[in-house]
Amino acid sequence: MSTPFDGSFQDFLATTPDARFTAWLAARAEPYWSEATNHVFTRAIGDGSMPEAAYARYLIEDYTFITDLASTLGYLVAKAPSMQSKSRLSAFLALLTSEENDYFFRSFKALGVAPEIYETAAQGPVTRAFADLLLTASGKGIYAEGLTCLLCAEWCYLTWGRREAQKPRPGAFYLAEWIDLHAVQGFEDFVSWIQEEMNRIAPVLPNETQEKLAQLFRHMSALEAAFFESAFRGTAAPLPNEFQRP
């Protein structure tokens, strides 16, 4: 999807003068960015080959991920520099905690997952690593760090969502609606906004901070791929050493 690149944003600009910061983040995240956006789980959502057990496993983990993502958005609303940015972020937070929350309840019911299970489910290792990364970056980091995590998560879902939306919808409503949620115009507009926000604030940050953002986006991409892998196969290999804490 992206051509891998491992230099600085300045180096990237030298190869492509009108390159966007967000394109650099994706290029620096290879091969994980492509693994996440093309994972077999994401294709199974749209092509009728999704095993019910894998999807139930996925939704239970994703419900706890979404809870941490809502907290991340809270931190971002607090740190956003302008009313316009706070407005965009809080509108998405409202969607996440209403319509999308309702989607989870209806889907759990259809899949026979009881509230006792999804409300008290312990996070698996990948979801725990996500929680740690999201909450540390958005809670302790500067605005751009939390925004980088949000960008990766939502851009990844827009990418597979738009691709799967080209196919006829699967029969199961929870698959069809999961595609629609991530392929609608409003979601595309939100992801475009996050990209514009990033491309406005990040090119003027110090080189070291830009490197930190590239590493965060790369780590998020690897976790997104591992999250799909873990749901689809019931297990995922630990992330490579570059992502282990010193």
Ligand X SMILES: Cc1ncc(CO)c(N)n1
Binding site for ligand X (CB under 6 A): 62, 65-66, 69, 153-154, 157, 224, 227
Measured over the CA atoms of residue 68, residue 64, residue 191 and residue 214, the dihedral's sign is positive
Looking at the Cβ atoms of 217 and 227, the one nearer to ligand X is: 227
Looking at the Cβ atoms of 184 and 205, the one nearer to ligand X is: 184
Question: Which two tokens mark 92?
Answer: 């998405």
Q: Which residue is nearest to ligand X (CB)?
A: 153
Looking at the Cβ atoms of 10 and 235, the one nearer to ligand X is: 235
Looking at the Cβ atoms of 66 and 214, the one nearer to ligand X is: 66
Closest distance between ligand X and the C-beta of residue 104, in Å? 10
Are 107 and 194 a contacting pair, CB within 8 Å? no
What is the residue-wise DSSP string for 174-205?
A: HHHHHHHHTTSHHHHHHHHHHHHHHHHHSTTS
What is the residue-wise DSSP string for 102-127?
A: HHHHHHHHHHT--HHHHHHPPPPHHH
Closest distance between ligand X and the C-beta of residue 174, in Å? 13
Active-site residue numbers? 224
Cα 87 from Cα 71, distance rounded (Å): 16
Contacts of 31 (CB under 8 A, 6+ apart): 4
Cα 141 from Cα 138, distance rounded (Å): 5
18 is in an annotated binding site: no
Looking at the Cβ atoms of 35 and 224, the one nearer to ligand X is: 224
Number of helices (H), then strands (E), in the chain: 13, 0
Closest distance between ligand X and the C-beta of residue 126, in Å? 9
100 is in an annotated binding site: yes
Strands (E), 26-142: none
Question: Which two tokens mark 64?
Answer: 């706890």
Closest distance between ligand X and the C-beta of residue 66, in Å? 6
Measured over the CA atoms of residue 142, residue 150, residue 88 and residue 12, the dihedral's sign is positive
Closest distance between ligand X and the C-beta of residue 156, in Å? 6
Give Cα 191 to chain centroid, integer Å: 11
Cα 12 from Cα 230, distance rounded (Å): 33
Residues at the binding site for substrate are: 62, 100, 154
